[in-house]
Amino acid sequence: MALTDEAIEKIKQMIISGRVRPGEKLPREADLAAELGLSRNSLREAVKALSLINVLDVRQGDGTYATSLAPSLLLEALSFIVDFHRDDTVLEFLEVRRILEPGATALAALRMSDEDKTKLGDILDSVAVDSPVEDFVAADLEFHKKIAIGSGNSVLASLVDNMSMPTARARVWRGMTEPRAQERTLAEHRAIYQAIVNSDPDLARSWAIAHIAGIESWLRTALAD
């Protein structure tokens, strides 16, 4: 194991074990290096790497802290990677959405509060079949994000959000080129919404699968053409 990798592993174990808790300050560099049996250079490289993925927060003139370790914060690194996707990987993102979102939708049917169900309905009512495509897709993204948050699982919500954005251009493309695409999307959204309102996780899951599979099927055909 490379020295930097060893240093990263040792710092990770400090956090996992509770030696350093989320939000707490790490010991000063010399003390920490001695405690972990590392060179200060290896320690610095490990701290730099862990700060890039938001595990550590280096504050100039103050010290180094463990971050809150909130899933949304730690998954920002994934979001950065996702931003570099190629157009030919959009189908792969849709495949991931088809795996993740039905589960999130089923959980939302069980866990979403009445207030959030009302807000979900408001998002649904904010657009119509003849709305500008860009506005329609923006509401589409917000609709799916709200459902993911409604799952009550912050890790799942962050993953769904990160997987959703790369497919936005494909959704705009579909809205502009496929006849009645927005009408079909609205109908499917209403079915998903009604299943969530009725606290029916099985039906919510089924509609979510059908909805995302329909987008995926259209894109496969469009790319083949």
pLDDT computed for residue 116 by the predictor? 97
Average pLDDT of the residues of the chain: 85
Is the distance from CB of 10 to CB of 38 less than 8 angstroms?
yes
- pLDDT, tens digit, 9 for 90 and up, residues 139-161: 999 999 999 999 999 889 988 88
Distance of CA 174 to the CA centre of its chain: 23
Task: Taking residues 89-117, report their average pLDDT.
Answer: 92
170-200 residue pLDDT tens: 777 777 777 888 899 999 999 999 999 999 9
Residue with structure tokens 């897709």?
A: 137
Domain ranges in the chain with CATH number 1.10.10.10: 3-69
- At residue 129, the 3 state secondary structure works out as coil
pTM: 0.65
Of 94, 86, 100, nearest to 171 (Cα)?
Answer: 94
Does residue 147 contact residue 108 with C-beta atoms inside 8 Å? yes
Fold entry, domain 74-224: Four Helix Bundle (Hemerythrin (Met), subunit A) (1.20.120)
For residues 107 and 11, what is the distance between their CA atoms, to the nearest angstrom? 35
Architecture of domain 3-69: Orthogonal Bundle (1.10)
Band of pLDDT at residue 74, cut at 50, 70 and 90: low
Task: State the chain's maximal CA–CA distance in angstroms.
Answer: 67
CATH 1.20.120.530 domain range(s) in the chain: 74-224
